Amino acid sequence: MIFRKETYAHALARGARRLKVSPTAQLDARVLLSEASGLDRAQLIAADREAVPEAVLTRYAELLRRRREGEPVAYITGRQEFYGRPFAVNPSVLIPRPESEMLVEAALAAHPQRVLDLGTGSGCLLLSALSELPRAEGVGTDVSREALSTAERNRTALRLDGRARFELLSFADTPLSMGTELFDVILANPPYIAEGDEQAAGAARFEPHSALFSGEDGLEAHREVAQVIARLLHPSGSAFIEIGYDQGESAEAIYKEALPGRSVLTKKDHAGYPRMVAVTP
């Protein structure tokens, strides 16, 4: 129901109640009201007791409906913040998640000149790293044309057109395309969910299936990524790969087998879960 004299404070409270199934109902409602009205958080607070225009209430009701049906807020607004920067997102790419920032942090600590991002999606890993490394350049690969279009849009928004390029390549085809090119850092957030995993069903409704699922054991993409690293990582370089929270031992074993002579260690995130394999000289 839409109330013609509803204030912004009332609209926000009503939206939070409608989204009570979400663990972030209050935040979701605020973001969606901001999207519907064009007002940022400070402006919403300042307009707390003002009446909401009918057109804004109509738009807000539609956004709340989409969220109640499970659509992620990032897809509704078309953007998601990652490593302090806004990235355009849509259902052709995974929504950047905070745990993936540890790959960027690891890349920055390695001070690379050339970076390869496998399965780049929105480009958030590569473009975040290059934004912090003004002398570095890099390549992002993906099998989705739509994903690469999104990555290119983000590249332009971050003014990195001259330092990042994107190529339509599978993991298997990447070494063939790169030829003798070697990289100081290789990043990858490959699909790592096992087919049929019921816990991932919610995300699979909206996010791209090919970026989530990887064979019956969830490790198929890791086996392919390991071979790319073996071919394209500079002898003094490092690779950082995101893994599932329950893949610490299994993923580490894959990279150790494919990369003899290199150090392969699993790193934990801030919550204490193994979330990254680090390959170093």
Structure tokens at 99: 């745990």
Structure tokens at 69: 């049906």
Please tell me the distance from the alpha carbon of residue 219 to that of residue 177, in angstroms, as a whole number. Answer: 24
Q: What are phi and psi of 30, to 5 degrees?
A: -65, -45
The answer to whether the annotation marks 142 as part of a ligand binding site is yes
The answer to whether the annotation marks 215 as part of a ligand binding site is no
Please tell me the distance from the alpha carbon of residue 56 to that of residue 134, in angstroms, as a whole number. Answer: 41
The answer to whether the annotation marks 189 as part of a ligand binding site is yes
The answer to whether the annotation marks 86 as part of a ligand binding site is no
The answer to whether the annotation marks 15 as part of a ligand binding site is no
The residue among 272, 266, 273, 271 whose CA lies nearest residue 106 is 266
The answer to whether the annotation marks 121 as part of a ligand binding site is yes
The answer to whether the annotation marks 217 as part of a ligand binding site is no
User: Exposure string (b/e) for 5-41, b if CB count within 10 Å is 16 or more?
Assistant: ebebeebbebbbebbeebeebeebbbbbbbbbbebee
- Edge to edge, the sheet with strand 164-168 lists 164-168, 137-142, 114-118, 183-188, 233-242, 274-280, 263-268
Q: What is the DSSP letter of 207?
A: S
The answer to whether the annotation marks 98 as part of a ligand binding site is no
The answer to whether the annotation marks 161 as part of a ligand binding site is no
Q: What is the DSSP string of 23-51?
A: TTHHHHHHHHHHHHH---HHHHHHTTTSB
Longest CA–CA span in the chain (Å) reads 70
The answer to whether the annotation marks 173 as part of a ligand binding site is no
Structure tokens at 194: 């096992």
The answer to whether the annotation marks 154 as part of a ligand binding site is no
Rg (CA), the chain: 21
Extract the annotated binding site: 119-123, 142, 171, 189-192
Extract the annotated binding site for S-adenosyl-L-methionine: 119-123, 142, 171, 189
Extract the annotated binding site for substrate: 189-192
